[in-house]
Structure 1
Amino acid sequence: MDSFDSLMMLKNEFFALSPVAQAGLAGLFTWAVTACGAALVFLTKAVNQKCLDAMLGLSGGVMIAASYWSLLAPAIEISEHRPEPSWFPAAIGFLLGGATLLACDKLLPHLHLGSSLDESEGPKTRWRRSTLLVLAITLHNIPEGLAIGVAFGGVMQGDAAGGIAGALALTLGIGLQNFPEGTAVSMPLRMDGMSRAKAFWYGQLSAAVEPIAAVVGAAAVTYSATVLPYALSFAAGAMIFVVVEELIPESHREGNVDLATICLMIGFTIMMILDVALG
């Protein structure tokens, strides 16, 4: 059996799985990409700041595009066949997603990338800088996992082939922007004097929540079709909150505004192409 036949067999086996299982595997993929980004700490002690800001900008563009093309637009399309106004689930879900992340931002102690320990947000705590940094990225990754989960779970509510293709496009896009996230966590920890192994551990740990969130999201919409447009929009609102609250300010912190903005537009374009071409 050649490699092409093996690939086709894997593809068929994946398509035969339940949406919840597909979501779990997709979440494991995005976690693995984060781990690959974190593994750069074994090759170098520091990443050029311009390169890091460019990667953060790229991540922001991917998340913005995914929020519309893969989440909000399908939510509105699904709602057109329901009794409530087509804009209602998208508007409610979107605002609720942002409000939930805002509440988490206020209730959980965390530290944004590039910030000093005295700039930590949320309740005051004596937790270490590494713990606060990982918490911030973990909060960031929860809506990404949910987005993947509701995309795969939504396959049961529509065209199976097109739905899976769209969910795979979303997974590829989120995986693409997870690579720099892993680097952005592990590198500052290494620069602070942490060992390579521990810096890598914390870098990959920040995305460990994604497979869990993906399974939860898929299960929720699989067992209750009514929540699908709300869940899609919720994930979109949470992701947009992360982009505006964290990624854009962090990519501008060192003055590389133009570079980060250009890379954000490139990331948006890449994700748009992925979603339209595959979805």
Structure 2
Amino acid sequence: MIDKISTLDPILLALMATLFTWGVTALGAALVFFFKQINAKVLNTMLGFASGVMIAASFWSLLAPSIEMAEGLGYIPWLVAAIGFMAGGLFLLATDKLLPHLHMNHDTRDAEGIKTSWQRSVLLVLAITLHNIPEGLAVGVAFGAAASGASTATVGSAIALAIGIGLQNFPEGAAVSIPLRREGFSRWKAFVYGQASGIVEPVAGVLGALLVTVMQPILPFALAFAAGAMIYVVVEELIPEAQSAKDTSHSDLATMGAMIGFCIMMILDVALG
């Protein structure tokens, strides 16, 4: 099955994979049709799970292939990985400072980025949208890397990455739509806003795949860049949100969720890659 998939164009594969991850975001957002609020323990566990998935994916699916490809191209492997990784984090830091957005459970006065009069709902959606950019980029770059023929960058590992990103997108969709419902939005409007946060993933995925297939020499940097951007999201947003509850049992659940997410992503990558 994977052998047949491997014959398809990597840009098409990136588009299909990121449409899947966007679809899972929509499934998470659809929880708003059944719940008006989500239990804090459940949400923190899911956010912890998302953190674990992204940390594992950053190494197994992105950094490890980056180092191997850099070595194969005659670059200094550790230098390429370090430069790309830090560039990814700095890119997200700059975007974080510029793009108006609001994290969950924060007052509108705590909105980050350029000051604006945009509604709270728009700022909440933009916060999740910001995090979905590196996820879509990572999937696209992974499929582009698979087309290069490197042994550690296979279509199987790219599929594993897409599945992992999809799994962690589920709580993110719910984390947007359900709070909007609590603020008085209709179920349908809250769903539309929630799933809209994932629309950037197909765009970023296609751009990532296109970029690395056209410019092969930058592929190791691009993989490390995506890893750095994902780790920035985990440390800046997901872990703090998962550990923010005053009840210490919530933090324990978030920690175990991260352990489970890391383990599942590792299994997916090793089994499929």
Which residue of structure 2 aligns with residue 263 of structure 1?
257
Structure 1 CA distance, aligned partners of 2:114 and 2:25?
28
Structure 2 CA distance, aligned partners of 1:16 and 1:187?
41
One-letter code of the match for 1:71? L
Which residue of structure 1 aligns with residue 132 of structure 2?
141
Structure 2 CA distance, aligned partners of 1:36 and 1:207?
11
- Local SS of the residue matching 2:194: helix
Which residue of structure 2 aligns with residue 3 of structure 1?
none
Q: Would you say the 8 A contact 2:65–2:150 is kept in 1?
A: no
- Taking only the aligned residue pairs, the percentage that are identical comes to 61
Is 1:87 the counterpart of 2:70 in the alignment?
no
Q: Which runs of 5+ in 1 are unaligned?
A: 1-7
Distance 1:159 1:231, change over 3 A: closer
TM-score, structure 2 normalization: 0.96
Match of 1:253 among 244, 256, 259: 244
Distance 1:273 1:78, change over 3 A: same
Q: Would you say the 8 A contact 2:145–2:153 is kept in 1?
A: no
Q: Which runs of 5+ in 2 are unaligned?
A: none
Distance 1:166 1:249, change over 3 A: same
Distance 1:276 1:161, change over 3 A: closer
Structure 2 CA distance, aligned partners of 1:44 and 1:266?
25
Is 1:35 the counterpart of 2:26 in the alignment?
yes
Structure 2 CA distance, aligned partners of 1:207 and 1:79?
31
Structure 2 CA distance, aligned partners of 1:195 and 1:172?
30
Matches within 5 A, 1:31-110: 31-110=22-101
Aligned residue pairs: how many? 270
Which residue of structure 2 aligns with residue 192 of structure 1?
183
- Local SS of the residue matching 1:80: helix
Structure 1 CA distance, aligned partners of 2:5 and 2:201?
19
Q: What's the CA shift for 1:13?
A: 6.6
Is 1:278 the counterpart of 2:269 in the alignment?
no
